Structure 1
Amino acid sequence: MSVLKKILIGLLLLFVIMQFFRPEKNIDSNDSLTTFIKETKPSTKVQNILSKACYDCHSNNTNYLWYNNITPINFWMANHIKEGKDELNFSEWASYSTKRKKHKMEEVYEEVEEKHMPISPYLITHSEANLTDEEIKQLVDWAKEQHNNY
């Protein structure tokens, strides 16, 4: 057997073994967004935008697609989700101070308005999260209104 074949077989075995090691999934059985929704009162349209473009990475409940079952993709995804939740977690809204809520709403409208959110890697596999100009306006207007309410 040639060296190349041995290397390929070794890599294949490593890949198979890696499939047995997975990060913990970001799935919460509770309706953890209730406080956020009650307090910020997004319209149905804004709620739909938040659901399709924000909650997967910015809440305690991610809707996983098939590719998240493949290691190392699932570790990469888990890292993105962790970073997103560290920056803003709508599920933890009740624990934020008024000052922090005001600042987070400012970040929401700035990041969306500047088209930094949703991030490009997310849009590759979630084309529905690619916001139209009208959706951006609706989300930005709502976030600005919330910012002014704090």
Structure 2
Amino acid sequence: MMKKILLCGVILVLLIQLIQINKENPPVNKEMDYNNVTQATPEIKKILKKSCYDCHSNEVKYPWYSNIAPISWFIKEHVNQGKEYLNFSEYGKYNTYQKEHINSALYRVIENKYMPLKSYLWIHKEAVLSEKENKILIHWFESNLSKKN
């Protein structure tokens, strides 16, 4: 009986591998990208690319473990939610009110160290923000609060 349950479990795990997520990124229009719209410095661009763009842009780089169901499903849902809150690749499409709200939210989440998410940083050590990078981003987002970009 136990062998049958184990066999069924193994078969189920193998079968769910057939349900793959769509990892295709939509095309990126660089003119709409946050870094270009806000005229971000090269330093800001580099920090945002390494720590934010994997969940908040159309330039997602899916890791190897995104090929394993059901982990892949959670990753895809997390990325979809991240892009729903903010998609850096489509920043130019937001209206002035949305941009002001986004910059305010970015300021708060970076200042309070809510982002990048701790769960993301467990595996993606390269995305950890140093204290210097954290301060640079806080200053950048604060300076953008009064701009109408």
Q: Same fold by TM-score, threshold 0.5 exceeded?
A: yes
The question of whether the paired residues in 2 share the 8 Å contact of 1:53 and 1:130 is answered with: yes
Residue in structure 2 matched with residue 125 of structure 1 by the alignment: 123
Cα 1:102–1:120 change in 2 (3 A) is same
The residue matched to 1:50 in structure 2 has which SS? Answer: helix
CA RMSD after TM alignment: 1.3
Residue in structure 2 matched with residue 68 of structure 1 by the alignment: 66
CA distance in 2, matches of 1:74, 1:80: 10
Residue in structure 1 matched with residue 106 of structure 2 by the alignment: 108
1:73-122 CA distance string (max 9 Å, x none): 11000111111111111122122111110110110011011010001111
Post-superposition offset of 1:61? 2.1
Post-superposition offset of 1:26? 4.8
Residue in structure 1 matched with residue 132 of structure 2 by the alignment: 134
- Match of residue 55, structure 1, among 53, 56, 68: 53
Cα 1:26–1:140 change in 2 (3 A) is farther
CA distance in 1, matches of 2:120, 2:86: 16
Residue in structure 2 matched with residue 7 of structure 1 by the alignment: 5
Cα 1:26–1:133 change in 2 (3 A) is farther
Cα 1:33–1:115 change in 2 (3 A) is farther
Please identify, of 69-78 and 31-40, the stretch whose mean Cα deviation from structure 2 is larger.
Answer: 31-40
1:47-95 CA distance string (max 9 Å, x none): 1110111011111221011100000011000111111111111122122
TM-score norm. by structure 2 comes to 0.93
CA distance in 1, matches of 2:4, 2:136: 56
Amino acid at match of 1:137: K
List gaps (5 residues or longer) in structure 2. none
The question of whether the paired residues in 1 share the 8 Å contact of 2:55 and 2:79 is answered with: yes
Amino acid at match of 2:84: D
Identity %: 35
Post-superposition offset of 1:127? 0.5
Q: 1 or 2, which has the higher helix percentage?
A: 1
List gaps (5 residues or longer) in structure 1. none
Amino acid at match of 2:126: E
Post-superposition offset of 1:33? 4.3
Alignment length (residue pairs): 147
The question of whether the paired residues in 1 share the 8 Å contact of 2:16 and 2:69 is answered with: yes
Post-superposition offset of 1:34? 3.5
TM-score norm. by structure 1 comes to 0.92
Residue in structure 2 matched with residue 32 of structure 1 by the alignment: 29
